[in-house]
Amino acid sequence: MAKAIPRIGSRRNGRIGSRKSARRIPKGVIHVQASFNNTIVTVTDVRGRVVSWSSAGTCGFKGTRRGTPFAAQTAAGNAIRTVVDQGMQRAEVMIKGPGLGRDAALRAIRRSGILLTFVRDVTPMPHNGCRPPKKRRV
């Protein structure tokens, strides 16, 4: 009979612990998605794994108030506060979408004390996009 291979670091006893607090990240990427109805702020590490996120909806804004600049500012502040505690110093910012919260979110990020290496607009633009549907009646 074959000899049993001893397992090193077995996972038998449930969860190991919160991985989010264990990761120290000096540099990250902040993604801001500003639509007309909501603003979502996601903070990832350089490889793209989400560390923290917040949106105007999760901050307690309901209905049309979610699209306001103040809601975006609050969402950005909430998302960034957790990663500043984890030790983030530098970040790149990617802003997507046409919403009112773009500038307010960027202002909140600037005020948080994180050094911004660059700010990029990644709003998808169609290069004359899809073909329109044919006319219904002549």
Cα(98)–Cα(28) distance, rounded to whole angstroms?
23
- Per residue in 94-114, pLDDT (tens digit) is 999 999 999 999 999 999 989
Is 36 a domain residue?
Answer: yes
Is 113 a domain residue?
Answer: yes
Is 12 a domain residue?
Answer: no
Is 3 a domain residue?
Answer: no
Q: How confident is the model at residue 138 (pLDDT cuts 50, 70, 90)?
A: confident
Query: What's 112's domain CATH number?
Result: 3.30.420.80
Say whether pLDDT at 15 is over 70.
no
Q: What is the largest CA-CA distance in the chain?
A: 82
Number of domains in the chain: 1
Structural domain span for residue 70: 25-119
Is 50 a domain residue?
Answer: yes
Cα(28)–Cα(115) distance, rounded to whole angstroms?
11
Is 136 a domain residue?
Answer: no
94-103-123 Cα angle (round to 5):
40
Q: What is the pLDDT of residue 10?
A: 53
In eight-state DSSP terms, residue 11 is -
pTM of the model: 0.77
- Per residue in 4-13, pLDDT (tens digit) is 766 665 555 5
Instruction: Tell me if 44 sits within 8 A of 56, measured CB to CB.
Output: no
